[in-house]
């Protein structure tokens, strides 16, 4: 029991002694502030020259050093033995009271919980009291955007003309919520997000001070997860050290932060480059089985393609924010990937990202994007697929034209020569012209006409008649079934495009009625007047081409049918009276009494 008690006391002491890295390694001088050189250099020059404003506003994202710089500024201007490098001595009375946490010259106010007019009035009363130790009284108001409208208005006069010894430092993450009248009375300092390289260097320095072996890639992942906030990076660092101990590996970081390993993205990109659809889908399925969200994969793959794109040009290489170990791998894969694949991939993944939350089948949405990227990544397979799909479209039956003014020979029996006929014209018409004149001008695709040279030729026995392909029917007749739902979606999509082009009348014609499937490879559309008929006559080639491409049916046909307008019958006075009398028989009695003539 004594051993258990001693062990518990030891663990309790360790917990009491532990201080999180964000507090333990909080900067105490301007030189140790990470990633805010522009702000710190301006404040140091103002202190040296004595041009210190009476009100400051520090704005920027969370965890970038706003409150830290405010505390450093307050401590520096109150130090009684300030060095040439603007470092507080730490031995004078103001410095000691600040370190002990009960300074009489530095006051911190949380505006999130003290946002009323009464709180500001109490602050104004405190400002009127001169400092007892030191020369300046500094008021740090954090989250100042949380003050109410009345509190802001009550604070205006004091902020504009404070006592000579009072300095106000306001800090906020939402500058747009601060009144313009407050902004105009302050010097505004915009704190930027800390760069990835600065966070990595700072984490490496802390790891070395704590005796922790940390891999460079692991620190890079932590910095990326922090999204420019150093405090977030230090919190993540402490959490991972608690899990892995004194050795922080890349795999531990990936496992605990729910981050996809970059190896997945390299393998998926290799599949896109080679056009291997199956490999890309299998890799995506493996990612889902590991418990990762498909949306996370989409955003991660988009970032990976972006990094490959910036790796292709030496001028954009500084934009690549990865570890040195990965830089070479990105360069090798960037040389294999085409620029069109990367740009098309970024565009397609951006669309997938926007549609993911609204889609009822998000997995299918991602898989479709991968299939499209695989096709664009392998031009040879894409060209082969295109040639296969359009092979029937380009293929035309070769016409067998009978020689002009020559008898058509047959293997079974010879044919008598054509008899001479008198003609008013110098030359007789060709047999093809006679046949085309006898046939209708418009024929269905694939329809053929039998060319007859003469009545004598028709009477002669022939084994194989010569066929002439219809010049207007260039597409083979389709036997493919049309999906009505897909047809309606494509029809409305085409109509919407016409509306965006400013063709509202054509859009109204197309959406006025729905197209109907009237047979294999045949769709019909009804119109009711000549205006719609003119629109459809002019638009039919382009519309039909669009539907053939999207439906993958080069032989698709569109039939436009004009319906006869139904004329409503006109009712006579007697008819209207009978209708009214059917609901109210008393009208008949009235008609008889007044002898009303309804003829």
Q: Which domain CATH number covers 247?
A: 1.10.8.60
Give the CA angle between residues 542, 544, 548 to the nearest 5°. 120
Residue 221 lies in a domain: yes
Lowest pLDDT segment from 8-22, 105-119, 201-215, 517-531:
8-22
Residue pair 254/287 in contact by the 8 Å Cβ criterion: no
Give tens-digit pLDDT for 182-192: 888 888 999 98
Confidence at residue 476, expressed as pLDDT on a 0 to 100 scale: 57
- The percentage of the chain sitting over the pLDDT mark of 70, rounded to a whole number, equals 79
Give tens-digit pLDDT for 452-505: 333 333 344 433 333 333 334 445 566 778 888 888 888 888 888 888 888 888
Say how far apart CA 309 and CA 339 lie, in whole Å: 7
* Non-local CB neighbours of 41 within 8 Å, separated by 6+ positions: none
Lowest pLDDT segment from 100-114, 202-216, 433-447:
433-447
Burial of 313 (C-beta count, 10 Å sphere; 0-12/13-18/19+) = exposed
Same domain membership, residue 44 and residue 130: yes
Rounded mean pLDDT, 154-170:
88
Taking residue 547's Cβ as centre, other Cβ atoms within 10 Å add up to 21
What tokens does 8 get? 């518990």
Q: Is the pLDDT of residue 432 over 50?
A: no
Mean pLDDT of the chain: 77
Same domain membership, residue 223 and residue 323: no
Per-residue pLDDT band at 573 (split at 50, 70, 90)? confident
The SS3 assignment for 416 reads: coil
The SS3 assignment for 223 reads: helix
Same domain membership, residue 30 and residue 73: yes
Q: Is the pLDDT of residue 423 over 50?
A: no
Same domain membership, residue 573 and residue 508: no
The SS3 assignment for 448 reads: strand
Residue 123 lies in a domain: yes
HEC string of 466-499? CEEECCCCCCCCCCCCCCHHHHHHHHHHHHHHHH
Confidence at residue 401, expressed as pLDDT on a 0 to 100 scale: 45
Rounded mean pLDDT, 509-533:
85
Among 440, 469, 498, the domain boundary falls at 469
DSSP element (H, E) containing 106: strand 106-110
Helix spans in 56-103 (H): 66-78, 93-100
Confidence at residue 435, expressed as pLDDT on a 0 to 100 scale: 39
Confidence at residue 599, expressed as pLDDT on a 0 to 100 scale: 64
Residue pair 110/142 in contact by the 8 Å Cβ criterion: yes
Say how far apart CA 213 and CA 221 lie, in whole Å: 15
Confidence at residue 58, expressed as pLDDT on a 0 to 100 scale: 92
Give tens-digit pLDDT for 278-319: 999 999 999 898 888 889 899 989 999 998 898 888 888 778
Residue 421 lies in a domain: no
**Long-range interactions of 384-393: CB distance < 8 A, separation 24+:** 389/552, 389/554, 390/554, 392/476, 392/554, 392/555, 393/475, 393/548, 393/554, 393/555
Same domain membership, residue 269 and residue 248: no
Same domain membership, residue 217 and residue 323: no
Residue pair 324/220 in contact by the 8 Å Cβ criterion: no
Q: Which residue has the higher pLDDT, 461 or 136?
A: 136
Give tens-digit pLDDT for 106-129: 888 888 888 888 888 888 888 888
User: Which of 356, 413, 374, 359 shows the shortest CA–CA distance to 276?
Assistant: 374
DSSP state of 177: G
Same domain membership, residue 294 and residue 208: no
Say how far apart CA 561 and CA 558 lie, in whole Å: 10
**Residue 552 belongs to domain with CATH number:** 3.30.300
Confidence at residue 4, expressed as pLDDT on a 0 to 100 scale: 53
Same domain membership, residue 129 and residue 211: no
240-244, 375-379, 443-447, range with greatest mean pLDDT: 240-244
**Residue 280 belongs to domain with CATH number:** 1.20.272.10
Residue 160 lies in a domain: yes
Rounded mean pLDDT, 370-384:
71
CA dihedral (499, 505, 511, 517) positive or negative = negative
Residue 7 lies in a domain: no
What tokens does 505 get? 């009348």
Q: Is the pLDDT of residue 562 over 60?
A: yes
Confidence at residue 258, expressed as pLDDT on a 0 to 100 scale: 76
Q: Is the pLDDT of residue 355 over 50?
A: yes
Per-residue pLDDT band at 326 (split at 50, 70, 90)? confident
Q: Is the pLDDT of residue 411 over 60?
A: no
Same domain membership, residue 105 and residue 49: yes
Taking residue 592's Cβ as centre, other Cβ atoms within 10 Å add up to 9
Domains: count for the chain: 6
DSSP state of 25: T
Same domain membership, residue 170 and residue 55: yes
Q: Is the pLDDT of residue 541 over 80?
A: yes
Say how far apart CA 346 and CA 349 lie, in whole Å: 5
Largest CA distance in the chain: 135
Per-residue pLDDT band at 168 (split at 50, 70, 90)? very high
Say how far apart CA 300 and CA 280 lie, in whole Å: 15
Per-residue pLDDT band at 364 (split at 50, 70, 90)? very high
User: Which of 457, 465, 471, 476 shows the shortest CA–CA distance to 400?
Assistant: 465
Confidence at residue 324, expressed as pLDDT on a 0 to 100 scale: 73
Residue found by looking up tokens 């009035």 in the block: 121
Burial of 199 (C-beta count, 10 Å sphere; 0-12/13-18/19+) = buried
Same domain membership, residue 307 and residue 276: yes
Residue 252 lies in a domain: yes
Residue pair 360/340 in contact by the 8 Å Cβ criterion: no
Same domain membership, residue 296 and residue 241: no
Confidence at residue 463, expressed as pLDDT on a 0 to 100 scale: 39
Range of the domain at 539: 484-562
Among 143, 165, 190, the domain boundary falls at 190
Residue 407 lies in a domain: no
Say how far apart CA 213 and CA 246 lie, in whole Å: 6
Confidence at residue 570, expressed as pLDDT on a 0 to 100 scale: 64
Confidence at residue 260, expressed as pLDDT on a 0 to 100 scale: 81
Per-residue pLDDT band at 3 (split at 50, 70, 90)? low
User: Which of 65, 3, 79, 5 shows the shortest CA–CA distance to 31?
Assistant: 65
**Residue 181 belongs to domain with CATH number:** 3.40.50.300
Per-residue pLDDT band at 407 (split at 50, 70, 90)? very low
Q: Is the pLDDT of residue 210 over 80?
A: yes
Give tens-digit pLDDT for 35-79: 888 888 898 888 888 888 889 999 988 888 888 899 888 888 888
Per-residue pLDDT band at 564 (split at 50, 70, 90)? low
Residue 413 lies in a domain: no
Among 469, 496, 523, the domain boundary falls at 469
Confidence at residue 589, expressed as pLDDT on a 0 to 100 scale: 84
Say how far apart CA 33 and CA 40 lie, in whole Å: 8
């Amino acid at each position: 029991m004594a051993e258990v008690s001693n062990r518990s006391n030891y663990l309790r002491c360790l917990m009491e002694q532990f201080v999180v890295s964000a507090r333990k390694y909080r900067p105490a001088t301007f030189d140790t502030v990470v990633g805010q050189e522009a702000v710190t250099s301006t404040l140091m020059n103002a202190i040296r020259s004595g041009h210190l404003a009476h009100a400051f506003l520090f704005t920027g994202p969370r965890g970038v050093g706003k409150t830290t710089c405010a505390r450093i500024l307050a401590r520096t201007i109150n130090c009684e033995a300030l060095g040439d490098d603007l470092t507080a001595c730490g031995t004078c009375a103001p410095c000691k009271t600040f370190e002990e946490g009960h300074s009489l010259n530095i006051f911190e106010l949380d505006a999130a919980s003290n946002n009323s007019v009464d709180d500001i009035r109490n602050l104004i009363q405190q400002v009127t009291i001169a400092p007892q130790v030191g020369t300046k009284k500094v008021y740090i108001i954090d989250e100042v955007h949380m003050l109410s409208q009345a509190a802001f208005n009550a604070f205006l006069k004091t902020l504009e003309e404070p006592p000579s010894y009072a300095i106000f430092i306001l800090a906020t993450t939402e500058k747009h919520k601060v009144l313009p009248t407050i902004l105009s009375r302050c010097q505004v300092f915009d704190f930027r997000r800390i760069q990835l390289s600065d966070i990595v260097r700072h984490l490496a320095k802390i790891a070395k001070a704590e005796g922790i072996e940390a891999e460079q890639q692991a620190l890079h992942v932590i910095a990326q997860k922090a999204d420019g906030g150093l405090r977030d990076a230090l919190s993540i660092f402490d959490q991972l050290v608690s899990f892995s101990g004194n050795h922080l590996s890349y795999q531990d970081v990936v496992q605990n932060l729910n981050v996809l390993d970059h190896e997945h993205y390299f393998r998926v990109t290799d599949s896109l480059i080679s056009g291997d659809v199956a490999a890309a889908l299998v890799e995506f399925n493996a990612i889902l089985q590991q418990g990762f969200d498909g949306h996370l994969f989409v955003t991660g793959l988009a970032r990976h393609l972006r990094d490959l794109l910036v790796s292709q040009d030496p001028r954009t290489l500084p934009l690549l924010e990865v570890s040195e170990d990965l830089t070479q791998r990105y360069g090798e894969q960037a040389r294999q990937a085409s620029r069109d694949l990367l740009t098309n991939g970024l565009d397609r993944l951006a669309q997938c990202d926007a549609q993911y939350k609204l889609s009822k089948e998000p997995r299918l949405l991602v898989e479709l994007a991968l299939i499209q990227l695989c096709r664009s990544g392998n031009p040879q397979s894409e060209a082969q697929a295109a040639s296969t799909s359009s092979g029937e479209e380009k293929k035309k039956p070769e016409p067998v034209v009978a020689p002009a003014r020559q008898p058509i020979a047959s293997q079974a029996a010879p044919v008598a020569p054509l008899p001479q006929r008198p003609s008013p014209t110098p030359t007789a018409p060709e047999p093809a012209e006679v046949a085309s004149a006898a046939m209708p001008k418009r024929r269905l695709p694939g329809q053929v006409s039998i060319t007859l040279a003469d009545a004598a030729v028709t009477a002669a026995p022939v084994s194989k008649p010569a066929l002439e392909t219809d010049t207007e029917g260039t597409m083979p007749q389709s036997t493919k079934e049309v999906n009505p739902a897909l047809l309606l979606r494509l029809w409305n999509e085409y109509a919407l495009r016409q509306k965006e082009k400013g063709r509202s009348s054509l859009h109204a014609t197309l959406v006025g009625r729905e197209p109907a499937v009237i047979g294999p490879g045949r769709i019909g559309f009804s119109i009711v007047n000549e205006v719609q008929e003119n629109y459809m006559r002019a638009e039919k080639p382009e519309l039909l081409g669009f539907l053939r491409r999207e439906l993958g049916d080069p032989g698709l046909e569109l039939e436009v049918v004009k319906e006869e307008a139904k004329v409503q019958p006109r009712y006579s006075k007697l008819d209207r009276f009978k209708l009214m009398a059917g609901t109210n028989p008393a009208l008949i009695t009235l008609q008889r009494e007044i002898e009303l003539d309804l003829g």
